[in-house]
Amino acid sequence: MSRTDSISKAFEPREAEPRLYSRWMENDYFRADVDPDKKPYCIVMPPPNITGQLHMGHALDNSIQDILIRFKRMQGFSALWLPGTDHAAIATEARIVAAMKEEGITKDDIGREKFLERAWKWRAKYGRRIVEQLKCLGSSCDWSRERFTMDDGLSEAVTEVFIRYYEKGLIYRGERIINWCPHCLTSISDAEVEYEEQDGHFWHLKYPLADGSGELILATTRPETMLGDTAVAVHPEDERYAHLVGKFVVLPLVNKEIPIIADEYVDKDFGTGVVKITPAHDPNDFEVGLRHDLPVITVMTESAVMNDNAGEYKGLDRYEARKRIVRDLEALGLIQKIEPHKHNVGTCYRCDTVVEPRVSLQWFVKMKPLTEPAIAAVRKAETSFIPERFEKTYFNWMENIRDWCISRQLWWGHRIPAYYCADCGNLIVSRKKPLLCQNCRGERITQDEDTLDTWFSSALWPFSTLGWPESSEDLKYFYPTDVLVTAYDIIFFWVARMIFSGIENMGEVPFRHVLIHGLIRDAEGRKMSKSLGNGIDPLEIVEKFGADALRYALVTGNAPGNDQRFQEEKIEAGRNFANKIWNAMRFVLMNCSEDLAFEGVDASRYTIEDKWILSRLNTTIAEVTANLEKYEFGIALSKIYSFVWEEYCDWYIEIAKARLFDTENPTRIEALFVLNHVLGEAMKLLHPFMPFLSEEVYGHLVLPGKADSVMIAAWPEYSPESDHPEEEKFMTVLMDAVRSIRNVRTSLGVTPSRKSGSILVTADDEVSRMFISGQAFLERLAAVSSVEVRKDKSGIPTTAVAAVFSAGEFYLPLEDLIDIQKELERLGKEKDNLKQEIDRVDKKLSNEEFVGRAPAHIIQAERDKRDKYTRMCTGIEERIALLGG
């Protein structure tokens, strides 16, 4: 009975992957514990949204994290990959509102309590979908520690941070202009606004001077906001308008006098140098308004419908109002001109609605005191970005950051721990709802209606998930974490906030490295998007080809920071690689008897090829380890690939066959041992990349002292004793010579079984010694039956064919390769055929009728044909002469 009887002919990912994943889970291999005997290694998973569906970005992000965790686990670290999900306030709430709309009900119909009940049900139903999808990739997270941003513990951390910040004066409540989404009906942070270029207009409006002495002309892209104008402004040094500052214009349509003010914010070289000031609807105007103590008049409702302040335009949608206002101004002769104008319009990242700047009472985090130490930490390399160029983006964002608006007019999220006394208006920030107002002893106390920005809780993720604010053992052991893996489009939203939150609350940066990877683009290099319909569903690929093939495709060509194209061929290459390994394993096992044990293996009996492959393995181990430490996943994988495919399968197995097939061979057992051992070690190197296949192959191989699973086996280590430079050199020269001889034979159409003698010409004594002792290799690999060594090529018959390689030339007697008489006959026939063709063309070209009537290009084509045949004929004549014909 052979060892391969029970092993399937091909690797079946669909059967093997779920089976192996369950086994890993049952054995608790993913679990990481506080272990004083081990060094900690920790990655916190960027928590996917509970609304999320696994896409290619997640697949890459999580494959990279899994590679690192599996690598470090095998290296003997207590390696924790901490998973979890994010409540995704605005995204989830939008989904639930949309579902309720189908039923014909709104949030206000059911109220806060009932709405939250629905939200929690929704999360129970759909929130774990993405977690299950992550498992399909082979992710080896410690699921026993899975967290959710609205868990009790994490919610406690949120409240604690809010209160600490408030007590330190880092959180304040104030009236500010914020980005408002009229569709989602909530404020959104600067980072959540996306800008797109849209076609618009510049409307040049005339504002009459109140004293009737003329008018001012100014341009706007949003004429509907004029109803809220409370001033017009010019630059203080603009001589054209100096005499008007302090006077008034009459605001058209509203018929109200507003002042002409001077402020440095105005660019006097732009347009007429006059701008309208609408503090309620423009962030810059808001600042100007604060400086000049201007009234703030809001003219729209939260849904961007004109309000009471808009007079006769009340009730109109903002765009409808724009049309009417323009029409009415035109009728009054108050529009000087209308120019087309392309401009960047801010839109809501959730729903694409054009954002409306809006003044409202919100909660803010004061950024400057938090960003300064966070900038310093990266400057001091306490945290470093890979690639380094992203540090610039980080600094740029941190240095220009505005205070962070953290309140959201949503129900799904962490409710702000602030309370108001209905009797005296007292504000109380407290961990629990106070029973009494400390100010007036009143009992009518209500909590702030708003919730916190989703990113407020995810900013705490690296320590809240480890048990903070408790001072837990986990926190002491695993914090700061080692690396955060994320795509470059999320640096601002999240990474920067985690860094300052970590420093402020833990006194230490949350991670040592931030590894930034690029985006997965389609085969043409376009961003994958719903609107283009060019997205690829990673789960479909897993279903069809297996997770290993997907991971192989994602990692191939991956380098930190760079976008990559996703091509179907890469998945096929991954699957082919798996098949190649599987076939190699089957071949090896087919030669291993059931009772094979390696007790008798003697390293002193290793042959040249054994030492060569062991030495190459040793080098590959050193290089792959170094590449992984530097996050060079693409390079590491390609090194494993060429080692296994080319050196192990194509050369070592081929060379070893002679010993395997000769049951009397004294070193057959060593060959079998090396075959199993090298493939087993290669599977350890491959394990982080292709965890399932490597586990299955490792499990079948005959390996003394084998671990229960490759994932808990020790990572291979480079050892100087396994270096065999002599044997490596010999094999390199040998393989080079064999390739060259094979090429020559192929080009002459020589059958593989036909052997030939050879003359080796080399000036290098060492090379000649190598080939004399290694003649058996040449015979087996290149069908060379004898080697005669010479220092130069004098006296070698001219008919001998040269195979040039790096250290010399092999001359193969032609008569050994082909039957000369037969070849002469064949060449003779070919020559006759060509002669006939030449005659035919000559006749045509000497026919005057043809030459006179045929178009020039036809005649030229015939002449070209003649030249070609003549050249071919000369070549054949030379070959015939060479063969002595």
Judged by the rule CB under 5 A, the positions of this chain that interact with Zn ion are 181, 183-184, 348, 350-351, 353, 421, 423-424, 426, 437, 439-440, 442
- Distance between CA atoms of residues 738 and 719, nearest Å: 30
In three-state form (DSSP H/G/I as H, E/B as E, the rest C), the secondary structure along 6-38 is CCCCCCCHHHHHHHHHHHHHHCCCCCCCCCCCC
Q: Give the C-alpha distances (Å, rounded to integers) separating 624 from 102, 685, 689.
A: 55, 8, 12
Which one, 350 or 586, has the nearer CB to Zn ion? Answer: 350
- Distance between CA atoms of residues 572 and 545, nearest Å: 8
- Distance between CA atoms of residues 305 and 320, nearest Å: 9
As beta bridge partners, residue 251 has 256
- Distance between CA atoms of residues 450 and 418, nearest Å: 9
758, 800 Cβ separation under 8 angstroms: no
User: Smallest distance from the beta carbon of 497 to Zn ion, in angstroms?
Assistant: 21
Which one, 421 or 873, has the nearer CB to Zn ion? Answer: 421
205, 336 Cβ separation under 8 angstroms: yes
**333-365: b (≥16 Cβ within 10 Å) or e:** ebbeeeeeeeeebbbbbbeeebbbbbbbebbbb
User: Smallest distance from the beta carbon of 364 to Zn ion, in angstroms?
Assistant: 21
User: Smallest distance from the beta carbon of 451 to Zn ion, in angstroms?
Assistant: 16
- Distance between CA atoms of residues 317 and 309, nearest Å: 14
Which one, 184 or 275, has the nearer CB to Zn ion? Answer: 184
User: Smallest distance from the beta carbon of 321 to Zn ion, in angstroms?
Assistant: 20
User: Smallest distance from the beta carbon of 436 to Zn ion, in angstroms?
Assistant: 8
Helix (H) or strand (E) holding 237: none
Which one, 348 or 644, has the nearer CB to Zn ion? Answer: 348
- For the chain, the helix, strand and coil percentages under 3-state DSSP, each to the nearest 5: 50, 20, 35
Q: How many helices (H) and strands (E) does the chain have?
A: 29, 29
Which pair of structure tokens corresponds to residue 409?
A: 């007019």
User: Smallest distance from the beta carbon of 443 to Zn ion, in angstroms?
Assistant: 9
Which one, 188 or 536, has the nearer CB to Zn ion? Answer: 188
User: Smallest distance from the beta carbon of 281 to Zn ion, in angstroms?
Assistant: 18
Helix (H) or strand (E) holding 809: strand 808-812
- Distance between CA atoms of residues 56 and 553, nearest Å: 11
Which one, 195 or 270, has the nearer CB to Zn ion? Answer: 195
Which one, 107 or 206, has the nearer CB to Zn ion? Answer: 107
The position carrying tokens 């052991």 is: 477
- Distance between CA atoms of residues 614 and 234, nearest Å: 80
Which pair of structure tokens corresponds to residue 306?
A: 């004109």
- Distance between CA atoms of residues 808 and 134, nearest Å: 55
Helix (H) or strand (E) holding 344: strand 335-348
Which one, 184 or 783, has the nearer CB to Zn ion? Answer: 184
Which one, 442 or 875, has the nearer CB to Zn ion? Answer: 442
User: Smallest distance from the beta carbon of 184 to Zn ion, in angstroms?
Assistant: 3
Which one, 192 or 482, has the nearer CB to Zn ion? Answer: 192
Which one, 119 or 731, has the nearer CB to Zn ion? Answer: 119
- Distance between CA atoms of residues 573 and 634, nearest Å: 14
The total number of residues written for the chain in this structure: 885
Which pair of structure tokens corresponds to residue 575?
A: 């699957």
370 by DSSP, 3-state: which?
helix
Which pair of structure tokens corresponds to residue 763?
A: 């000036």
Which one, 2 or 439, has the nearer CB to Zn ion? Answer: 439
User: Smallest distance from the beta carbon of 383 to Zn ion, in angstroms?
Assistant: 33
Which one, 439 or 743, has the nearer CB to Zn ion? Answer: 439
User: Smallest distance from the beta carbon of 202 to Zn ion, in angstroms?
Assistant: 27
User: Smallest distance from the beta carbon of 179 to Zn ion, in angstroms?
Assistant: 10
User: Smallest distance from the beta carbon of 404 to Zn ion, in angstroms?
Assistant: 19
The position carrying tokens 């004594």 is: 765
User: Smallest distance from the beta carbon of 425 to Zn ion, in angstroms?
Assistant: 7
